Amino acid sequence: MTDPYLLLTPVLALAVLALARFVGCHWVFHLEPVPDEVPFVESRVLGAPRTNFDGWVGMVIHVGAKPLRVTQLGRIMLTASTAEHQVKLVEPAGMGGGADLGMPVTFPIGTTSDSDSTQGFAYATLQPAVVLKANTDYYVVSHEAAMGDVFHDFETTTVTTTEVAEVTSGVFYDDDMPGPGYQPAGGSKNTYGPVDFKYEEPATE
């Protein structure tokens, strides 16, 4: 004799799947939605190429009204890199100082832009992710070496970004003259590199 419970099992399974399709899997199975990772930079204009600097270069951002959970950092990689590059987040301190936020990410030799990056950026995951406070300035910077890979000067390098933050200027830190610390360069939308990051949407604390 066939067990009636065995006959009912596939019927119940199909019923649950049909309900999930109708009202949404997250409601039936109580799944938390996975936030999307969104690139901050939507488009860029590249300025003059440079290979004559030892130090950190990048951009100053001012976070908007909501905190940002940054999950990845990026650097322009139009050709395969010939040296390692570190990219990091820095919280500014007075008189050119700054405190690193989390650990830098490292791009190994031979890194090229991600296949899904329309702007030519390569990204590496922050471990752990870093939460940026609302209405606060931060630096996103990449370490460059003289006679190394090309980066682009701030004067005519600009980026268009999402509205979660704004780029207020480029920024640099000269390894050969560390006294002044981090120094701004240019104005709104200007950046060295360029550099980028990905954040979770919706932003979470």
- Domain limits of the chain? 1-33, 36-201
For domain 36-201, the CATH class is mainly beta
Mean pLDDT of 108-122: 95
pLDDT value of residue 54: 98
Q: What is the pTM of this model?
A: 0.83
Q: For residue 46, which of 100, 121, 114, 127 has the smallest C-alpha distance?
A: 121
pLDDT value of residue 94: 84
* First vs last C-alpha separation in the chain: 58
Confidence check: pLDDT of 43 > 70: yes
Confidence check: pLDDT of 111 > 60: yes
Confidence check: pLDDT of 53 > 80: yes
Token readout for 180 is 């002044």
- CA dihedral of residues 121, 77, 62, 185 (deg, nearest 10): -160
Give the other-Cβ count within 10 Å of 43's Cβ: 10
Cα–Cα distance list, 93 to 97, 138, 190 (Å): 5, 10, 21
Mean pLDDT of 62-73: 96
pLDDT value of residue 32: 58
